[in-house]
Structure 1
Amino acid sequence: MQPRAVDAAGVAHDYAGADARIVSLVPSLTETLFALGLERQIVGRTGFCVHPRNKVRAVPKVGGTKAVKLDALRALRPTHLIVNIDENERDTVEQLRAFVPHIVVTHPQTPRDNLALYALLGAIFGREDEAQRLSTALDACLREAAAHTFAAQNVLYLIWREPWMSVARDTYIAAMLRLVNWHTLPDVHGGSVGAARYPTVDFDDAPWLARVDRVLLSSEPYRFTAAHRDALAGDPRLRGKRIELIDGEMTSWYGVRAIHGIAYLLRRTAAA
């Protein structure tokens, strides 16, 4: 008998078997399930699960990461549901427990946590070799980042406007940025869950703003554009700071995307 795999909620999962029917409510993990070779067993996904583009179109949608269509999901008869503590509503997940036999809870908080994530999914779905290949690739990226010396930068990483919202230092995004010695401001910690992980920012009441070197405008969840960048460049409160667009998928998506995300950050710092 194979050993049981324990998820982020402390629940042990047995090997799923070849007839597993998987619904993923986490875009980055939908992509990772495909990378593990599970495309024949993925029967549902959210509308935000858009990678890999050439394959995911064939998978039925069950709403969004938070606005889940329960009846549509039920109709797919899933045996396994993949969720995330940050991205999915707890109340919704509890409702889904009524008809989904196995709910796999994930919560990576640092890039290195993806190693355990690969192992978890590989063990549950019988893709240990594929999971090991992802782990080897990620470990190589982490080693490459650790081998470099980067100039320290304080960054304001914005994920929303009206109101402006940033990220706490104990988020996955902040941990990714620290790989290249970029440190998020404000210097706050938000805990494991909740709105405090994504604090609002008032440019008129932020004494720490003077210490910011770069303002990074993420492509998600708010899709910042060059027009937003140019408008902020003219804001006297941000005078003298580099204001740049950044690919939010590369910094916030875990799973297989972490491998590409680290390489992306290394390229950005090399070009800076």
Structure 2
Amino acid sequence: MKTFIDQIGNLVTFEHSPKRIVSLVPSQTELLSDMGLEEKIVGITKFCVHPYHFKSTKKIVGGTKKVNYDKIRELNPDIIITNKEENTLEMVEELRKIAPVWVTNVITLEDNQKMIDDFGRIFNCRTEAQKWNDKIHFAFKDFVDFMKDVPVRKAAYFIWRDPYMAAGQDNFINALLQLNHFKNIYDDKGRYPEVEIRRIRLEGDPDVVFLSSEPYPFKDEHAFAIGRFTHHAKTVFVDGEMFSWYGSRILKAFDYFKVLQEKLKDQS
């Protein structure tokens, strides 16, 4: 019998190292696979698109906000992995009636490291967890060096339209914007504020406007519509997975950010 504390302070007890995992967070599904735990993963969400073959080899139990509890119960999981932001409190409380629920809360790179460490301890794969944290730390240090002469620019990062919503404060997207030397013009408006696009110049007049590929798939016509209300801002389409997926995805994100920075430099 072992007891651990998850990232929101809950005590979670396991009789043995979990062998049947239901993961309800796409980025964490990818991480668990990368940590060598593919065979232990039995259930995922329809949004768990990495690795690609999981959609045909794992049981899909619903989405991140709504799941089929009967399907999860039938999988007889030893652990259900959720996230404070991705999944609802009501879901977590209902899932606890089925199996121990582990809740992550990743807002910073330090939180990401802690999540990987926790998985290493829970699933008895500490060496693999340390390897991933070492690789991420090395890539982080390299990226910080790459960014040392890059000036700070004001930015807005949109995740939704109708209504327009942006990434604000206390989320992983904002942490990565800061790492890329972007001052988020909405970082004092809450976590994911609804914004009036016509007021964008009054509320910060960004140098760069990012349109994410997820959760809303922005298109050229949306960039044109937003551009009517900006002054000098560059509008850039970005891969939402690189800015919002934590876990092992961040290792690929550092290379993606270098390309993005070079692209912005060429456009200046």
Please give the TM-score of this superposition, normalised by the length of structure 2. 0.91
Q: Given that residues 203 and 209 in structure 1 are in contact (C-alpha distance below 8 angstroms), is that contact kept between their aligned partners in structure 2?
A: no
Which residue in 2 is equivalent to 1:118? Answer: 116
Matched, 1:213 2:207: yes
Matched, 1:264 2:256: yes
Which residue in 2 is equivalent to 1:72? Answer: 71
Q: 1:19 to 1:155 in 2, by over 3 A?
A: closer
Report deviation, 1:208: 3.8
Report deviation, 1:226: 2.9
Report deviation, 1:203: 2.3
Report deviation, 1:187: 3.3
Q: Given that residues 16 and 124 in structure 1 are in contact (C-alpha distance below 8 angstroms), is that contact kept between their aligned partners in structure 2?
A: no
Matched, 1:32 2:31: yes
Which residue in 2 is equivalent to 1:11? Answer: 10
Report deviation, 1:50: 0.6
Measured in 1, the distance between the counterparts of 2:64 and 2:216 equals: 15
Q: Given that residues 27 and 49 in structure 1 are in contact (C-alpha distance below 8 angstroms), is that contact kept between their aligned partners in structure 2?
A: yes
Q: Residue 239 of structure 1 aligns to which amino acid in structure 2?
A: H
User: What do the CA deviations read for 1:160-181 (whole angstroms, capped 9, x no partner)?
Assistant: 0001000112211010111110
Measured in 1, the distance between the counterparts of 2:31 and 2:93 equals: 24
Q: Secondary structure at the match of 1:43?
A: strand
Q: Given that residues 18 and 79 in structure 2 are in contact (C-alpha distance below 8 angstroms), is that contact kept between their aligned partners in structure 1?
A: no
Report deviation, 1:112: 2.8
Q: 1:19 to 1:240 in 2, by over 3 A?
A: closer
Measured in 2, the distance between the counterparts of 1:58 and 1:170 equals: 35
User: What do the CA deviations read for 1:121-171 (whole angstroms, capped 9, x no partner)?
Assistant: 111011111111110111012111222322111111000000100011221
Measured in 2, the distance between the counterparts of 1:157 and 1:173 equals: 8
Matched, 1:136 2:128: no
Measured in 2, the distance between the counterparts of 1:156 and 1:16 equals: 46
Which residue in 2 is equivalent to 1:158? Answer: 158
Which residue in 2 is equivalent to 1:241? Answer: 233
Q: Residue 180 of structure 2 aligns to which amino acid in structure 1?
A: V
Which sits farther off after the overlay, 37-46 or 16-25? 16-25
Measured in 1, the distance between the counterparts of 2:54 and 2:47 equals: 14
> Structure 1: where are the runs of 5+ without partners?
191-196
Measured in 2, the distance between the counterparts of 1:55 and 1:240 equals: 43
Measured in 1, the distance between the counterparts of 2:16 and 2:42 equals: 15
Q: 1:140 to 1:206 in 2, by over 3 A?
A: same
Q: Given that residues 83 and 105 in structure 1 are in contact (C-alpha distance below 8 angstroms), is that contact kept between their aligned partners in structure 2?
A: yes
> Structure 2: where are the runs of 5+ without partners?
none
User: What do the CA deviations read for 1:96-128 (whole angstroms, capped 9, x no partner)?
Assistant: 11111x111100111232111110011101111
RMSD across aligned positions (CA) = 1.9
Number of equivalenced pairs: 262
Which sits farther off after the overlay, 203-212 or 180-189? 203-212
Identical aligned pairs, as a percentage? 35
Alignment of 1:181-200 (within 5 A): 181-188=181-188, 190=190, 197-200=191-194
Q: Given that residues 18 and 123 in structure 2 are in contact (C-alpha distance below 8 angstroms), is that contact kept between their aligned partners in structure 1?
A: no
Please give the TM-score of this superposition, normalised by the length of structure 1. 0.90
Q: Secondary structure at the match of 2:131?
A: helix
Q: 1:204 to 1:270 in 2, by over 3 A?
A: closer
